[in-house]
């Protein structure tokens, strides 16, 4: 199928030129920073954010295995969204913007795959929305990082704005639409893990925390005082006799 770029006035190209034009006037160190952030930095930051959310969730046992299952779904949703993007890119076959439009400041040259939809935008938004389902505060941070990722991809000259919007839509759709099924499958899994030697993955302190809470593993009460008390009772009986 032919690409989606058209000749003549095109808002998509106009927005691309406007955002990418910032790179033309920026210092070299700014462009280097944007290159790293847009290619690797935001994805790494989302990974750290997922770990922080997991660390917080496991220290709140009242939330239970369902919270951990929701956090596990976030990266899984990103992986599924990237898989869903493979046939989309092959069907649309949209060339990268720098192949159809000269004069762009391309911060990462050499990309030869198709442009629509953006893998980076798809991945980051799927993680952000997946986090939002499990934890609102961390999810909002994740969605904010995804929006920044989309801006970076256009700034770098490797995607049209509609590539990014398409990626946001795909990542959101996968994370939201498949979330009920994912919870139905993941909650029993995290519940089983909570009852296993790997319980620390779900609950801080592992099984001992839960068992101590319901009394199953509670330490036996002191028995040292029981024997002197019994002897004292027997001595009183002897005196009475």
Distance CA 15, CA 20 (A): 8
Alpha-carbon span 71 to 216, nearest angstrom: 29
CATH number of 11-194: 1.20.144
5 or 119, which is more confident? 119
pTM, two decimals, is 0.79
Instruction: Find the mean pLDDT for residues 34-38.
Output: 94
* Neighbouring C-alpha atoms within 13 Å toward the C-beta of 73: 32
Instruction: Please answer whether residues 22 and 155 qualify as being in contact, where contact means their C-beta atoms are separated by less than 8 angstroms.
Output: yes
Tokens 């920026």 — which residue? 26
Domain ranges of the chain: 11-194, 206-240
Question: Is the bond preceding 23 in cis, omega lying within 30 degrees of 0?
Answer: no
For 171-199, the pLDDT digits (tens) are 999 999 999 999 999 999 988 988 889 88
State the burial class of residue 240 (Cβ atoms within 10 Å of its Cβ: 0-12, 13-18, 19+): exposed
């Amino acid at each position: 199928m032919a690409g989606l770029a058209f000749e003549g006035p095109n808002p998509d190209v106009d927005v691309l030129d406007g955002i990418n034009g910032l790179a033309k006037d920026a210092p070299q160190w700014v462009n280097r920073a944007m290159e790293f952030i847009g290619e690797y930095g935001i994805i790494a930051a989302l990974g750290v954010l997922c770990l922080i959310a997991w660390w917080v969730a496991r220290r709140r046992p009242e939330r239970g295995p369902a919270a951990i299952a929701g956090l596990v779904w976030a990266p899984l949703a990103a992986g599924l969204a990237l898989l869903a993007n493979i046939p989309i890119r092959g069907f649309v076959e949209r060339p990268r913007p720098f192949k159809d439009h000269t004069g762009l400041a391309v911060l990462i040259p050499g990309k030869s795959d198709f442009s629509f939809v953006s893998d980076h935008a798809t991945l980051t938004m799927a993680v952000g929305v997946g986090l939002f389902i499990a934890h609102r505060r961390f999810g909002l941070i994740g969605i904010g990082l995804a929006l920044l990722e989309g801006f970076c991809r256009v700034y770098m000259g490797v995607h049209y704005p509609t590539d990014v919007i398409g990626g946001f839509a795909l990542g959101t759709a996968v994370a939201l639409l498949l979330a009920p099924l994912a919870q139905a499958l993941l909650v029993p899994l995290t519940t089983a893990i909570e009852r296993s030697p790997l319980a620390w993955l779900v609950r801080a302190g592992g099984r001992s925390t839960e068992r101590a809470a319901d009394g199953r593993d509670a330490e036996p009460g002191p028995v040292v005082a029981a024997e002197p008390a019994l002897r004292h009772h027997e001595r009183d009986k002897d005196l009475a006799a």
